[in-house]
Structure 1
Amino acid sequence: MHPQVTDYISNAGNQQEILQTIRQLIHETVPAVTEEFKWGRPVFRASRDFAYLKTAKAYVTLGFFNYQKLNDPGNLLEGTGKGMRHIKLKSINEIDNHLLTTWFKAASIN
């Protein structure tokens, strides 16, 4: 676990629980995951960057690089960039462990 990521989560106020839950789920799902602190946010990497976390005033953004690998039948992913999409999580209850586990596995594969 990267110390700057730990500090980021520790200083996230009421969003700590969401951030910590997602961080733990990533580590449980992707065996070779490493953490980095880039662009002012936690970035998760296997053979390359696959996900990031970012806090905002009312939600946590969970972003995915190479989103094309993700199956999103519910059209939950937002964004218009070439290679990245994200979801916004406003509460711990919005975390769908099964869906996120599937996405983390798909996104982290080369």
Structure 2
Amino acid sequence: MNPQVTEYINSASAEQKEMMEVLRQLIQESVAGVTEEFKWSRPVFRTSKDFTYFKTTKAYLTLGFFDFTKLNDKHNKLQGTGKDMRHIKLKKMSDIDREELQEWFRTVAV
């Protein structure tokens, strides 16, 4: 685990810290060979390519996905207008759909 990512998580509010710890664990459990980097002032997770990141804001946690066109977004959660990336906003622990996110991490990591 990357110490810069740990520091970023530990510097967040209690609720966001808890959410990031859960997401970090989900990513690690879902994707074999994942590595953590700290780029663009945020944690970025990658295999042979970057596939997801998270970042804090005052009101929510942004969980972003590279190569989002591979995702089955049956609940229309993805937001954004970028050519290559989309994100979801997580405001509380109950916003984390573990099964869906594990599937998404596996899908975009390859």
Q: TM-score range by the shorter chain?
A: over 0.9
Report the secondary structure of 2:51's partner residue. Answer: strand
Aligned residues: 109
Whole-Å Cα distance in 2 between the matches of residues 11 and 73 of structure 1? 33
Corresponding position of 2:109: 108
Corresponding position of 1:7: 7
In the TM superposition, residue 74 of structure 1 has moved relative to its aligned partner by: 1.1
Q: Deviations over 1:46-86 (max 9, x none)?
A: 11000000000011000000101111011100000000000
Report the secondary structure of 1:57's partner residue. Answer: coil
Whole-Å Cα distance in 1 between the matches of residues 39 and 72 of structure 2? 26
Moved over 3 A (4+): none
Give the share of equivalent positions with the same residue, in percent. Answer: 59
What TM-score comes out, normalization by structure 1 length? 0.97
Report the secondary structure of 1:26's partner residue. Answer: helix
Whole-Å Cα distance in 1 between the matches of residues 13 and 89 of structure 2? 17
2:32 maps to a residue whose letter is P
Structure 2, gaps ≥5 residues long:
none
What TM-score comes out, normalization by structure 2 length? 0.97
In the TM superposition, residue 31 of structure 1 has moved relative to its aligned partner by: 1.1
Whole-Å Cα distance in 1 between the matches of residues 74 and 94 of structure 2? 20
In the TM superposition, residue 42 of structure 1 has moved relative to its aligned partner by: 0.1
Report matched runs for 1:1-110 at 5 Å.
1-14=1-14, 15-109=16-110
Structure 1, gaps ≥5 residues long:
none
Q: Deviations over 1:24-58 (max 9, x none)?
A: 00000001100000000000001100000000001
CA RMSD of aligned residues (A): 0.5
